[in-house]
Amino acid sequence: MTQDPTPSPQGELTLQTVPMPADTNSNGDIFGGWVLSQMDIAGGVAAHKRAKGRTATVAINAMRFHAPVMVGDVFTVYTSVVKTGTTSVTIHVEAWVQREVDAIQIQVTEADFTFVAIEKSGVKRPLPPL
């Protein structure tokens, strides 16, 4: 049995957008901060779903940039729950792009985001059972 050597996204499709020229740095690449914010939004969507309510980002662990994001790429974020605690949930977030030229998907970055479930007042609350 042979294994496909081409990596593919892991997790649930959570966000898809296209970076614009206003999102670039002086080199013409998309700002890392823009990429991070899109990943935080997607992670927040997944955390909200698991927590069944409001969450807040409390940590970003081991973010790794693999390739630049360019204007016009189709930027797609996938998420998966990797760990839950009493009040927190850790979401693995992968960002991929599809380049206009060759239409293949390239993983550009990944990280683990930790969110805590909170009440409207901002106080921690337990995660509900699955």
CATH number at residue 45: 3.10.129.10
Residue 28: inside a domain, yes or no?
A: yes
Q: Over 80: is that where the pLDDT of 99 sits?
A: yes
In a domain, 1, yes or no: no
Share of the chain above pLDDT 70, in %: 96
Q: Does residue 124 fall inside a structural domain?
A: no
In a domain, 97, yes or no: yes
* 128 occurs within a structural domain: no
**Model pLDDT, residue 128:** 95
Domain count, the chain: 1
At 103 the pLDDT is 78
| pLDDT tier, 28 (very low <50, low <70, confident <90, very high otherwise) | confident
Give the per-residue pLDDT at 1.
54
The pLDDT of residue 102 is 73
Under 8 Å between Cβ of 73 and 97: yes
**pLDDT value for 9:** 95
| More confident position, 76 or 26 | 76
Tell me the pLDDT band of 58, cut-offs 50, 70 and 90: very high
| Per-residue pLDDT at 5 | 65
Nearest to 67 by CA among 38, 123, 29: 29
Residue 113, domain extent:
12-117
Residue 129 lies in a domain: no
Mean pLDDT confidence for 79-90 = 97
- 127 belongs to a structural domain: no
Report yes or no on 47 lying in a domain.
yes
